[in-house]
Structure 1
Amino acid sequence: MNTYIKHWLFAGAVSFLVTACGNRLNVEPTQSVEQSQALNTEQDVRITLVGAYDGLSDVNLYGGGIQYIGDLTGDNRDVVFGGTYSTLDEIWRKTVTTSNTVTRDFWLDGYNAINRANNVLSALDKVSQANRNNIEGQARFIRGALYFELVKAFAKSWNDGTPTANPGVPLVLTPTSVVTDADSRARNTVAEVYTQVLDDLTKAESLLPQTQSYGSAVSSGFATKDAAAAILARVYLQQQNFASARDAANRVITSGTYSLASTFADAFTDASPETIFRIIVTDQDGTNDLNTFYASVPNQGRGDVRVQPKFRQLYEANDVRGSFFSTANQNTFTSKFNDLYGDVPVVRLAEMYLTRAETNLRLNTAVGATPLADINLIRNRAKATPLTTVDLAAILLERRLELAFEGQQIADIKRTGGTVGTTAYNANNLVLPIPQREIDTNKALVQNPGYN
């Protein structure tokens, strides 16, 4: 998406909000309005949906936090965290404390955005029939995606023990206006959370349009049918439901809406044709926290996450992905997030090809294409030597090389039963602690093993 379109979308959203609120300048503050009066019109519901997207784009969520938490938790010194933030250093060292403010805000902001989505879903009767499916689908997408991220981070993985017994995270499916003792929810099981995630995302896929257009611009910054299917593919893959993961990824690929960027570098521009869902950032709104921590100082970042030779040596000499780095002050940084105001990619088409290849291989099927064809499609774009045969190890390595620094590291380690160095995938310190603030205020919550 070019700068003009990004600013157009931002200005349009602001204009919409100003128009909607212009006749309300003298009303009571929102927190003192009765809930029954807060969402009276379709315009009110649309404004609340914009607020849910704003929550989703928070730096502690898809604005960067979810991604770097996933990568730093799963890192085995492929990078060195050289910054001054002790909170991120704890995550990288796998010594997270219950008072860590990054993980605390991941939880808080996640539930805040979920609550906004719940408010939208509670007022669908105020929305016209023509628009109701789209608005419901978008709210369900936001809620389903966030519950998936929360349960992955704060609970045991699906393949660790018994999902129907392991504590997940509390499911809150109705709006919360004023917190009372009745809102002290116990943790639902991992299985219950996954059931809700699948319900939300499956319904979202069925309700959403193929594209979301604003004026003459088509934007992947808003939930679509393919965005829901792409996150579904991740969910099913995490559950080792390979047939459903394969089919969801194949639906995205065969929709024809997206195509691989012609070069690997082009995949990380705002105009990339392969970004299925992104967080829109402009110089007026939003922050790309992947730029903040991953990019070098000359590229407007802090230069905190420094890529080590150990990782770069995994790439073949002719693989352009192995040179997609920058160097400053004798340190190396990924070039995926060099644009301070660049959109944050959440899921790309390349990942769908990798998911389809892996699941087809595991199932000995060739839905859409053979695993070898899909892997070589990705490798050809990277100028890497095409493979003549492919096995599971080669596919998992390809995921690591292609999706590095995009948040999938710990998820892939856990679902495949791998290790972080010598630390097993099911170790207590690879699960984030429930924030102490939540434990103190909600006596129904039980802390994760290994944390006081």
Structure 2
Amino acid sequence: MKAKIFHPSMLGFLVLAIGSLAGLTSCQNYLEEQPSTLIDSDYIYTTEDGLKSGVVSLYKFNRDRYDRDVEDFMGSVFMSSKSDLAFSRTGYVGNIGRYQRGISPLDLGARFASTLFWKHFYNITNKATEIINAADAIEGVDEDARNQILAEAKFFRANSYFYLYRLYNNIFVSTETITVENAFDVVNDKSSEEEIFAVLNSDLDFAIEHLEWNDTFGRVTKGTAKHLKAKVAMWEGDWEEAKNQALDVIESPDSPHSLVSNTAQVFEGERNHSESLFVIQAKDDLLGGGNNSMINANYVTQYFQISGIEATVAQGGRGFSRILPNRYLQSLLAADSLDTRDDDTYFRLNYFYTSGDRIGERVDTYAPVTDLDSISDTYQRYYQRQHPSCIKFAQDDDNPDSYRNRSNIMVYRLAETYLIAAEAIMRSSGDPLPYINAVRKRAKAAPLMSVDEQAILDERARELAFEGQRWFTLKRMGQEVIDRQITTYAGDGVFFPANLGEKDPRDNWKSYYINFPIAQIDLDLLGAGYPQNDGY
């Protein structure tokens, strides 16, 4: 473990952490208000109620990435734009998804990533570590309360370090509290993989032991921690551990989790159901309730710009066509005509007139490219206004007349646990078919007769696309897999001629992009010998 832990935002973070606790004390039905005059560092780190307030602040900090309005709230859609399943049409997030930005330590995209990922997750790990070490040292606290505080804080530390590791590879981990005295100690080298996974597994083992299966909606539980532990084990190549943790969430008699009965229910309402493992909550008109974001708007077309059709929540709300499902993803969804995941549950394929002479009829104003020898002159409008959209992030009570809405965000859910189990079993021992086919059966797709790596990739695409997991899956499966998938499928290639050449992600991809560049502004504040990722 590295004892020296300097981070560029650490001193500011010590102040920010105190201020951000104002109004946050406990999660009952949501976040309860606490007069800010009662919140100070002595209260936070020396009292049971203060430590509980600190834990609630971790939920708030974790939500911040989605709430920040950087370039149309790109923090919430950044990772989906970069996958083999997306067509990144326009905007700065389009530059990211086409590998035109975020590809150099010096460019603006890397600076955005610094704010949205590097600084963001290090802030959470630092805050979690302060809470953990204070909770370990404090006297006179009920042991069950202490263990709950520690378990939630350790989950957030593990979750944040894991995210950083998967993005950057060259990261440093620490379990030492940041103080004014050590804040300017310099980190001179990255942590080894052994050090990183030791912290992740230690934190998650504690969380699994001390969290309950059931808690207030929005709080992490034993199932959340086991799911994350299974994901960590997959990155270690520990298939037996991944299998055991996933199967425990799926099959333990104590587990409250089960797949909801149909795909239409997965993203209904507040996402408070048996499949949910971790949902980031946002609530209107409440202190600490989160900000509006444009996560849904980034994924939905501008269909409402067509005469005779108004924006409605049922058709996806109001969007601006930044990131769309590409032809490759559409072909996977269309492989089984009975599959309901492209039937206005996860994706909307068609739009319908809501007024005028053609009310109720399907919109057919623009044509896609179907004949490469005779390209439609409306194909760019088609992608902008009529192309299929991801509607997973539209919520029933959204305002269809606004690009900004405040909605709950599904982070982890049981369908992924099933697919983890299927892959881990495929790579170790047992029969993976019941687990991958449970997901397919729920979508009314025909069962598979065999499972290999490509079948896992394809099913993860159909089920989890645009939920921020895909790029990590490709990277975990290895350099050959991510190179092949990105250079073969990212974007839409010749079917969107305007993005050929310098805008084509298939051409722009370089193998070393498998690790994000550490922004120079962050590298400059580390030790002189701290390694940049290869290729940059």
TM-score range, shorter chain: 0.7 to 0.9
In 2: Cα distance, 1:247 partner to 1:94 partner: 41
The aligned residue for residue 262 of structure 1 is: 261
Shift of 1:61: 9.4
Shift of 1:379: 0.9
Q: What pairs with 1:91-170 in structure 2 (closer than 5 Å)?
A: 91-93=97-99, 95-96=101-102, 97-98=104-105, 99=107, 100=109, 101-105=111-115, 106-124=117-135, 125-126=137-138, 127-155=141-169, 168-170=170-172
Q: What pairs with 1:204-215 in structure 2 (closer than 5 Å)?
A: 204-213=207-216
The aligned residue for residue 428 of structure 2 is: 363
In 1: Cα distance, 2:534 partner to 2:118 partner: 18
The aligned residue for residue 307 of structure 1 is: 325
SS at match of 2:392: coil
- Structure 1 residue identity aligned to 2:77: Y
In 2: Cα distance, 1:303 partner to 1:426 partner: 26
Residues 177/301 of structure 1: CA separation in 2 closer, same or farther (3 Å cut): farther
Residues 209/66 of structure 1: CA separation in 2 closer, same or farther (3 Å cut): farther
Shift of 1:13: 1.6
In 1: Cα distance, 2:31 partner to 2:427 partner: 44
Deviates more, 1:300-309 or 1:178-187: 178-187
In 2: Cα distance, 1:443 partner to 1:50 partner: 33
Is residue 2:297 matched to residue 1:277?
no
In 1: Cα distance, 2:174 partner to 2:74 partner: 22
The aligned residue for residue 80 of structure 2 is: 71
The aligned residue for residue 16 of structure 2 is: none
Q: Is the 8 A contact 2:44 2:51 kept in 1?
A: no
SS at match of 2:389: strand
The aligned residue for residue 286 of structure 1 is: 290
Residues 211/183 of structure 1: CA separation in 2 closer, same or farther (3 Å cut): farther
Is residue 2:502 matched to residue 1:443?
no
**Sequence identity (%):** 27
Deviations 1:349-382 (A, max 9, x none): 11111111122222231xxxx3222222111111
The aligned residue for residue 202 of structure 1 is: 205
SS at match of 1:123: helix
SS at match of 2:278: strand
The aligned residue for residue 5 of structure 1 is: none
Shift of 1:138: 0.2
- Structure 1 residue identity aligned to 2:49: Q
In 1: Cα distance, 2:509 partner to 2:89 partner: 25
Deviations 1:420-450 (A, max 9, x none): 2268999211211112211122234321122
- Structure 2 residue identity aligned to 1:421: T
Q: Is the 8 A contact 1:52 1:142 kept in 2?
A: yes
Q: Which has the larger radius of gyration?
A: 2
SS at match of 1:80: strand
In 2: Cα distance, 1:232 partner to 1:65 partner: 27
- Structure 1 residue identity aligned to 2:123: N
Shift of 1:169: 0.6
SS at match of 2:91: coil
Deviations 1:243-285 (A, max 9, x none): 1100010111123311111111211122332011111112242
2:87 to 69, 80, 84: 80
Deviates more, 1:227-236 or 1:432-441: 432-441
Residues 131/180 of structure 1: CA separation in 2 closer, same or farther (3 Å cut): closer
Is residue 2:415 matched to residue 1:350?
yes
Deviates more, 1:184-193 or 1:134-143: 184-193
1:42 to 48, 65, 71: 48
Q: Is the 8 A contact 1:321 1:402 kept in 2?
A: yes
Q: Is the 8 A contact 2:67 2:290 kept in 1?
A: no
Q: Is the 8 A contact 1:210 1:225 kept in 2?
A: yes
Shift of 1:65: 6.6
Q: Which runs of 5 or more residues in structure 1 are unaligned?
A: 1-7, 25-29, 156-167, 214-218
In 1: Cα distance, 2:196 partner to 2:294 partner: 28
- Structure 2 residue identity aligned to 1:449: D
Shift of 1:14: 2.9
Is residue 2:321 matched to residue 1:321?
no
- Structure 1 residue identity aligned to 2:260: A
Shift of 1:90: 2.5
Q: Which runs of 5 or more residues in structure 2 are unaligned?
A: 1-25, 303-310, 312-316, 352-383, 396-404, 489-505
1:400 to 443, 457, 461: 461
The aligned residue for residue 90 of structure 1 is: 96
In 1: Cα distance, 2:51 partner to 2:320 partner: 38
The aligned residue for residue 21 of structure 2 is: none
Normalized against structure 1, the TM-score is what? 0.82
- Structure 2 residue identity aligned to 1:280: Q
- Structure 1 residue identity aligned to 2:229: L
Is residue 2:447 matched to residue 1:433?
no
In 1: Cα distance, 2:56 partner to 2:221 partner: 15
- Structure 1 residue identity aligned to 2:32: V
In 2: Cα distance, 1:122 partner to 1:10 partner: 25
The aligned residue for residue 388 of structure 2 is: 332
Q: Is the 8 A contact 1:62 1:279 kept in 2?
A: no
